[in-house]
Amino acid sequence: MPLHKLDYLDLLEAESIHIMREVAGQFERPALLFSGGKDSITLVQLALKAFKPGKIPFPLVHIDTGHNFPEALEYRDRIAEQTGARLIVRKVEDTIKAKGLKEQTGKFASRNALQSYTLLDTIEEFGFDACIGGARRDEEKARAKERIFSVRDEFGQWDPKKQRPELWNLYNGKISKGENVRVFPISNWVELDVWNYIKREGIELPSIYFTHEREVIVHHEHLVALSPFVRVDEDDVIVKKNVRYRTVGDMTCTAAVESTASSIDDIIAEINKTNISERGETRIDDQVSEAAMEDRKKNGYF
């Protein structure tokens, strides 16, 4: 009988499925954070495989900032319906009103920092003890510091100096009252792995990942989509370009890239040629300061 050899995508998939099952086995009330982006839909695909033929045994949760791309929201709702998973949406707008929070001001004002309040309230509301997220270590240096099981204290805060060691495939889900864990099953993947996996599995994506014509503001090296959430100044340069998105974030702080890629093969070819990271090329919010992401994560951000 011939031996079946696992390729590198098989190995990554097997590790991620193992992590998903560890979450289901070790925690009472886990949830999967789902934005409709390529990384979180990869998680949904892995969860479907992990628990097949049953349904995903935990809800999908989206913290909606109110500044999302409409294409991503349509995709989010459709995928939740197709998979039969329970979708929980909580809105940052509601948190702002309830807590009297002050929003950022300025041209590309973001609600990312305020998103943490809504996420922590949602964790408390539903008693989630584990939140599965699609962060990868290659995205950003603060995310590279995270363990796969990453403990948050009773205030939802992360301290990178107090992380538990993880040996081989042993994950420690023991937590004290009030604590919870963020789990990152695709930590060991890079952007290209995700795209190769999406191609292999035939995973559907929101249309904004592929080339389309869009009116954008040219801001330094970034192309920011015109939207009701971005202030247009007199000296702004607005042009129509063929663009696509490498990541799905808010319309206020996520830049497009010029592209003619109309298929996943085209996208993979583009990524193979570029030497600029996904977030470095597209996320204006990460460039506020050297430690912007780490500061947000310490305060409860995903």
Whether the pLDDT of residue 286 is over 70: the answer is no
Per-residue pLDDT tens for 154-164? Answer: 888 888 888 88
What is the arithmetic mean of pLDDT over 254-258?
93
Per-residue pLDDT tens for 191-214? Answer: 999 999 999 999 999 999 999 999
Instruction: Give the Cα separation of 141 and 290 in Å (integer).
Output: 10
pLDDT band at 292 (very low <50, low <70, confident <90, very high): low
Helical residues (DSSP H) of the chain, grouped into ranges: 8-26, 38-51, 70-83, 92-99, 112-126, 141-144, 191-201, 264-273, 278-282, 292-298
Instruction: Give the Cα separation of 217 and 226 in Å (integer).
Output: 7
How many CB atoms sit inside 10 A of residue 45's CB? 19
Transcribe 172-238 into DSSP letters. Answer: -----TT-EEEE-TTTT--HHHHHHHHHHHT----GGGS-EEEEEEEETTEEEE--TTSPPPTT-EE
CATH of domain 8-195+290-299: 3.40.50.620
Locate CATH 3.40.50.620 in the chain: 8-195+290-299
pLDDT of residue 275: 83
Per-residue pLDDT tens for 136-178? Answer: 998 878 888 889 999 999 888 888 888 888 988 899 999 998 8
pLDDT of residue 144: 85
In 3-state terms, what secondary structure has residue 269? helix
